[in-house]
Structure 1
Amino acid sequence: MKHIISLLALALLFTTCTDNLKEDDLPIDDQEVEKTVTEYGFALNDFNVIRDSIRTGDTFGDILNEYGVSNAKIFGVATKFKDSFDVRRMVVGKPYMLLNSKDTLNTTQVFIYEKNKVDYAVVDFRDSLQVFSNKKDVKYVEKEASGIISSSLYLSMEEQNLSPALIDKLANIYAWTVNFFKIPKGDRFKIVYVEKYINDTIPAGVDRIKAAYFEHKGVPLYAFEYENDSLKNDFYDEKTENLRRAFLTAPVKFSRISSRYNLKRRIKYYGYKLRPHKGTDFAANIGTPIVATADGTVTKSERRGGNGNYVKIKHNSTYETQYLHMKSRNVRVGNFVRQGDVIGWVGMTGNTGGPHVCYRFWKNGKQVDPFRQDLPASKPLPKKYHEAYFNLITPLRDKLDCITY
């Protein structure tokens, strides 16, 4: 009995002594160790961290003045480091982070601005002023998608929760060969694409499409991405033909044709008199970007009469295009524009009953219907690259063919 009592007393003493131990005396496994949190390459534990986003009216100076950064340093960033970080181009809604000192002054020591999900700018006020751009670690994951169009490409892809960026990239690939404003039900698509992830789990958008298949009116259209040191990125079919043509089918994306080219048009309001329509109207919301349908030189950029704000482009000795009723123009006479460049925005200037762009197309000085023209294609892939091209696309074509709808 005495032996049992002694053991109980010893156990009680050990427990009491353990309870009275200071935290520093405990084994390391029993201590609560503060975990170091690292972001953008900085140990956040060393700072008071403030996260926010750019709001309307915010300026770089206003944000940092509040936390003790001198005007001299702010001015230095604004004037000496424009190439790395132009403070005038901060966008409302973009997130930023302040790393402030852990003292009563709470002075900002580091400012970090996210340009997008991957790229960010760092302004380090400690010691000598440093400003630089960097990227988050990105993982690239290959994915597949497919679908059958029931109403429009946009809605069919959106129903599958595919991103607008992926829709836009697919539409751009086939913009020269498929008229997305009159696409029949039953057309189908397959895509092999690459998506970006930050920290393995956070989606950061679509990187690129590697290969695509679009069946339009029963005609199969393959597209494979290809580039090398001598060729810029482009898409070719299974026979090495370039998918690009000299002209895009439309000057706006995901719109609808509200009025076609029609030389026999009669309007009730004008007593059914013959009033030919020599353009194609694309209805779109005010502010929708209008793009040049082909490379060329701007010959007109002005506001005049029923045309409203308009731009005219000469592409070569054969073709010219014109874009009417713009809200505002983005080019001047003499500018050289590339296919897809934004030349203005949809509006309602001039004679118009609603927001749209009237697209006019000239061939040899005569206005014609662009949808009835056999427009020239771009050059095919040079023969010297064929072997490398076929080696690249063979497994990609196999992947496309194996994707089910």
Structure 2
Amino acid sequence: MKYLLYILPALFLLLSCEEEIKEDDSIVPLSEEEIITREYGYTLNDFNVVRDTIRKGDTFGGILNENGVNNSKIFEVATRFKDSFDVRRIVVGKPYVLLNSKDTLNTTQVFIYEKSKVDYAVIDFRDDVSVNLFQKPIKYVEREDSGIITNSLSVTMEENNLSPAMTERLANIYAWTVNFFKLQKGDRFKVVYTEKYIDDTIPAGIDKIKAAYFEHKGVPLYAFGYNNDSLHGFDFYDEKAENLRRAFLKAPVKFSRISSKYNLKRRIKYYGYKLRPHKGTDFAAPIGTPILATADGTVTESERRGGNGNYVKIKHNSTYDTQYLHMKSRNVRVGNYVRQGDVIGWIGMTGNTGGPHVCYRFWKNGKQVDPFQEDLPASKPLPTEFREDYYAKIEPLKTQLDCIKF
């Protein structure tokens, strides 16, 4: 009996809760018209909303003319606001939104153009015309990933459901220390990075890589991103604060293959097996692929001549020069100063060549040498005064990398 006294109130309370839930279930949900929707800073319920994408043949003026905006306002946007929004540069495939008046005229009052997943322009035609550029709220989420090379870096990324952008990011970080044309099966990597999300759910790409680990031929290579207000720019260093950059990139073309190596003892059947030394390294790639300067320097030659075809030669310092042959076209002139990674031309088939490639030639003290056999100079390590701060910041990142499983 005593237990019943405790059970009955609880049972009554349970029944009361069930009754309340039943009453809540009977509430009629709001209609779509009654739900207030806000986007891009506007209450969409106040407009007739049209969503579309730029199609081939579309123009800014054409779209708005069709939706009742007069030519004077279109002209004002095209001239007065051309520095912030160039109406000639709307791109096919990009989405846009029209906020039209809720009357019989259905005239566009606001035009919203999404330049990217994050950036958008708002042109408001009500009263005085205004143009404003905005960014959608971005959330940054830290992620960890790893992989084991089975074929190429890009194939491995695909197998691990990683963004193709990750391939380029890692290739850029390790461009000076890893020859990505000679990755071995079993090479592996780990990475800690941040990814961008719009409205908490829409992926907007990789933000930045915080730390990475690449094991090539059994040799571990750590990379930690570091910047300090007193330093000139963000860079990657290893666990000993050595800069991962070298004075020269490993190759002048991204993600191509070596079709012919530097070989002073080369003999070719076509020429009767006579000795025909090859003093360059050929990188095969499709016509039009960008060719990059492998180091900072000054252009000393940029011309078309004989078997070289279109070519560029760069003097980097008193010791090193590089040359790039068989270009489709050149992007620099004699006297231009170029930075490492600048596009100096494009892959072609000019001069003596059997297929699209760039012949990369490398001089040391006036003599052509094989760059892959040279101990090329490294960039300067992190200055001593920053090392205490650097070591403190990378310690938890290194522990985090070491704990990631392949």
With normalisation by structure 2, the TM-score equals 0.88
**Could you give the per-residue CA deviations for residues 238-282 of structure 1, whole angstroms, max 9, x where no partner exists?**
111000001110111111111111122111112222222222111
Deviation at 1:103, TM superposition (A): 2.6
Q: Find out whether 1:169 has 2:172 as its counterpart.
A: no
Q: Secondary structure at the match of 1:327?
A: strand
CA 1:276–1:389: 2 relative to 1, 3 Å: same
The correspondence of residues 278-317 of structure 1 with structure 2, limited to 5 A, is: 278-317=279-318
Equivalent residue, structure 2, for 1:339: 340
CA 1:52–1:290: 2 relative to 1, 3 Å: farther
CA 1:221–1:42: 2 relative to 1, 3 Å: same
Cα distance in 1 between the residues matched to 2:137 and 2:359: 45
**Could you give the per-residue CA deviations for residues 104-133 of structure 1, whole angstroms, max 9, x where no partner exists?**
333222222222211122222222121121
Deviation at 1:316, TM superposition (A): 1.8
Q: Secondary structure at the match of 2:151?
A: coil
**Could you give the per-residue CA deviations for residues 39-70 of structure 1, whole angstroms, max 9, x where no partner exists?**
22222222222222233333322332222333
Q: Secondary structure at the match of 2:391?
A: helix
Deviation at 1:328, TM superposition (A): 2.7
Cα distance in 2 between the residues matched to 1:103 and 1:350: 67
Cα distance in 2 between the residues matched to 1:65 and 1:76: 14
Q: Find out whether 1:54 has 2:54 as its counterpart.
A: yes
The correspondence of residues 223-372 of structure 1 with structure 2, limited to 5 A, is: 223-231=223-231, 232-372=233-373
Deviation at 1:158, TM superposition (A): 1.5
Deviation at 1:29, TM superposition (A): 6.2
When structure 1 is superposed on structure 2, of 137-146 and 93-102 the one drifting more is: 93-102
Residue 161 of structure 2 aligns with an amino acid whose one-letter code is N
Residue 288 of structure 2 aligns with an amino acid whose one-letter code is G
The answer to whether the 8 A contact 1:154-1:254 is kept is no
CA RMSD of aligned residues (A): 2.0
Provide the aligned length of Structure 1 versus Structure 2.
379
When structure 1 is superposed on structure 2, of 142-151 and 341-350 the one drifting more is: 341-350
Equivalent residue, structure 1, for 2:21: none
Q: Find out whether 1:193 has 2:204 as its counterpart.
A: no
Cα distance in 2 between the residues matched to 1:318 and 1:30: 78
CA 1:96–1:322: 2 relative to 1, 3 Å: farther
Cα distance in 2 between the residues matched to 1:119 and 1:30: 35
Equivalent residue, structure 2, for 1:128: 128
CA 1:312–1:136: 2 relative to 1, 3 Å: same
With normalisation by structure 1, the TM-score equals 0.88
Deviation at 1:28, TM superposition (A): 9.8
CA 1:66–1:361: 2 relative to 1, 3 Å: farther
Q: Secondary structure at the match of 1:392?
A: helix
Q: Find out whether 1:42 has 2:52 as its counterpart.
A: no
Residue 144 of structure 1 aligns with an amino acid whose one-letter code is E
Cα distance in 1 between the residues matched to 2:61 and 2:160: 44
The correspondence of residues 42-121 of structure 1 with structure 2, limited to 5 A, is: 42-121=42-121
Q: Secondary structure at the match of 2:313?
A: strand
**Could you give the per-residue CA deviations for residues 69-122 of structure 1, whole angstroms, max 9, x where no partner exists?**
333333332333233222333333222222222233332222222222111222
Listed as ranges, the gaps of 5+ residues in structure 1 are 1-26
CA 1:301–1:123: 2 relative to 1, 3 Å: farther
Cα distance in 1 between the residues matched to 2:346 and 2:70: 41
Q: Percentage identity across aligned positions?
A: 78
Deviation at 1:338, TM superposition (A): 1.6
CA 1:152–1:75: 2 relative to 1, 3 Å: same
Deviation at 1:372, TM superposition (A): 1.2
Cα distance in 2 between the residues matched to 1:106 and 1:275: 75
